Amino acid sequence: MPQTLRCRELVLDLGTPRIMGILNVTDDSFYDGGQHLAPDAALARARRMVEEGADILDIGGQSTRPGHVEIPEAEELARVLPVIRALAVEFPRLPLSIDTYRPAVAAAALAAGGHILNDVHGLQGPGGAGLARLAAEAGAAVVVMHHDPALRSIAADADPLPSVLAWLGRSLALAAAAGLPADRVVVDPGIGFGKTQAQNLVLLARLGELRALGRPVLLGVSRKSVIGHALPGLAAPADRLEPTLALTALAVRQGVPLHRVHDVLANRRAARMAAALPPAGADGGRFFNV
């Protein structure tokens, strides 16, 4: 499995857990929608996350929360491009990810200084071929996220892992066909996307099995509704920090190197503490250097 993530001219060492800070330049994201819609507010938030130790920033102008409304492509471009351009100048050694499934937005983001394309449809959506081609041509990295609503229709007591692995395998095949090498591709189990609550929990408990795909794993579970369903007293996303930190630590212990979060400093501390512990058993292995 690659121990580095290559994204254009930058190389990120995955021998230690890495934190991807979420920068929502949106008006309706489930946790912080509307807070960073203005470019100045978005840049201030980005600087704060960099100060807290973010290794990557993931910039999105189109919310993908349940029930989201698609905005025009021109509006998505107007939201994200000024932020990407400014960050590329201010932080030239910081990988910038663009959270989009639209090839035109991806192309403009790469031209503005982006390094990673984060596709919630895992290259299997209508724009997937274009995204893969753009990444290959630019030398960018891609995140392929599992998002298959058909998973909900399997038997309630069926193991979801084989379906998730097979679906992500198809995404990896599409990436390879476009010319993307293994050290430019990350897999994301898509917690909260097209899954039942039980399936989300099974995946969180068995993240280590995704390593069979031979790619680094990215976990995006920060403050999500899966936490509120498991802990009914935490209906509001604002109340879900501590469970998020618990899931980050557990994911690190399963060998997950990349963590997409809202709260950079707290999750960085949780991840590093989990990585500092020795292997749990004789057949365990240390995934990270600290």
Helix, strand, coil % (nearest 5) of the chain? 45, 15, 40
**What tokens appear for 70 in the block?**
């698609």
Cite the beta strand spans of the chain per DSSP E.
4-7, 10-13, 18-24, 56-60, 96-99, 116-119, 141-145, 185-188, 218-219, 258-261
Contact yes or no for 247/231 (Cβ under 8 A): no
Give catalytic residues, as residue numbers: 224, 260
Contact yes or no for 122/142 (Cβ under 8 A): no
What is the bridge-based pairing of β-strands 141-145 and 4-7?
unpaired
For residue 149, count CB atoms less than 10 angstroms from its CB and return exposed for 0-12, middle for 13-18, buried for 19 or more: exposed
Task: Give CA angle at 83 (80, 87), nearest 5°.
Answer: 135
DSSP state of 236: S
Contact yes or no for 222/22 (Cβ under 8 A): yes
